[in-house]
Amino acid sequence: MQSPKVFISYSWDDEDHKAWVLNLSNSLISNYGCDVILDQYELAAGKNLTGFMERSLEQSDKVIVILSPNYRAKATDAKGGVGYEYSIISSQIFDTQTDHKFIPVLRTGSKEISAPPYLSSLVYHDMTDNSKLLADIEELARQIWNKPKLVKPALGPEPDFDNTIIDPVEARLVSIEKEKKANQKLNSILKSEEGVALANANHSRIIKSLEQKAEKYNQASSYRFNIQSDQRTLILSSSGFSVSIFWTNRYTNSLDDTYLHLRFFSGTVILNESFYFPDNQPVQKLYSQYQFDFDKNGLEGWRNIKSKEDFISEEKLVSHAFSMILNSIESKERKGFR
């Protein structure tokens, strides 16, 4: 299948908002194979803004609309590029009587104060919680690719109602009991020394993978990834941005109160350093807390304690650590590009 072409419509609320949109776009391109059209990539001084917007909205398979109070205000008042884009979006919805092309994403505020009229009736994708960013981007990518996580099962055969052996209630009870036993087995592992050993091994593989990939990327480009680590902490840094992975565990025979803390900073974090000069003080931009767990198929991974749906494998966690830094580097560097 050809990569879907995706246009992102948003308002330039402030620099943090622009950086967040760029990070979202970079992730959709790099991690989910989406061909994203974004003004921050395409537009430079002297280029035709209205022509860019018209072509982008016409050529795109999906349009992501980043909702914020400022977006609604500009759209309803027909101000600037947002106002012009929204006039095209609303006319397309009206003319085609279809809305599957448009995906509203709530970034700030609420639907009532952030969604303009023509989009207020559409189901929106909530991305207001930064701690769920990984899971939210994956869910958005699934919408773009039309690959929902929950798939409607295939139709079963026509039932033989004359066969008294078939009992749908009994079948459901058996299915529920089977799933319950599988979950109980996984839970018992998490509360055992075996679970602790699996989590420790998984954490060790994450650390090793981060070190190996940092060395690989250092050889591939002039950008340098620096790693500092001790028994519980690993800090990955490059070009004035840092990711910290901190491991806490209390018991040796259970994973209760065992967490993996993932933090992203603007600034260079120094291992075991508590004092920084004001100009060098790292600023935490993102914090997520994970616990070792299994998915429904029994595969190992890490679950966000604030969202059961946010479950990632060790490979995705490693990729996310580098992507957060890379996206910030790219955003910073592009400001000086032509």
CA–CA separation, 180 and 218 (whole Å): 47
Residue 175, in any domain of the structure: no
Residue in 248, 268, 266, 267 with CA at minimum distance from that of residue 258? 248
CA–CA separation, 85 and 253 (whole Å): 58
CA–CA separation, 301 and 291 (whole Å): 8
Residue 155, in any domain of the structure: no
Task: Find the domain containing 97 and state its range.
Answer: 5-145
The pLDDT tens digits of the residues spanning 292-333 come to 999 988 899 999 998 888 899 999 899 889 988 988 888 888
Number of Cβ within 10 Å of residue 71's Cβ equals 28
Residue 184, in any domain of the structure: no
Residue 199 and residue 320 share a domain? yes
Residue 132 and residue 62 share a domain? yes
* AA identity, residue 17: H
- For residues 110-132, average pLDDT: 86
Helices 80-96, 69-76: axis angle to 10 degrees equals: 70
CA–CA separation, 313 and 256 (whole Å): 20
Question: Residue 153 has what DSSP assignment?
Answer: P
State residue 246's pLDDT score: 94
Q: Provide φ and ψ at 243, rounded to 5°.
A: -120, 130
The pLDDT tens digits of the residues spanning 47-62 come to 667 778 888 888 889 9
Tell me how far the alpha carbon of residue 94 is from its chain's centroid: 31
CATH number at residue 37: 3.40.50.10140
Instruction: Return the higher-pLDDT residue of 188 and 165.
Output: 188
Residue 177, in any domain of the structure: no
Residue 236 and residue 131 share a domain? no
Residue 223 and residue 110 share a domain? no
- For residues 12-20, average pLDDT: 90
Residue 209 and residue 140 share a domain? no
Residue 264 and residue 140 share a domain? no
State residue 46's pLDDT score: 52
Sequence-distant contacts of 297-303: CB under 8 A, at least 24 apart: 298/182, 298/186, 300/198, 300/202, 302/260
Residue 310, in any domain of the structure: yes
State residue 229's pLDDT score: 92
Tell me how many domains the chain contains. 2
Residue 198 and residue 324 share a domain? yes
State residue 97's pLDDT score: 53
Ranking 10-19, 116-125, 205-214 by mean pLDDT, the lowest is 116-125
CA–CA separation, 116 and 68 (whole Å): 10
Residue 276 and residue 200 share a domain? yes
Tell me how far the alpha carbon of residue 61 is from its chain's centroid: 21
Q: In what order do the strands lie in the sheet with 241-248?
A: 226-229, 233-238, 241-248, 259-266, 283-294, 300-304, 311-312
Residue 140 and residue 199 share a domain? no
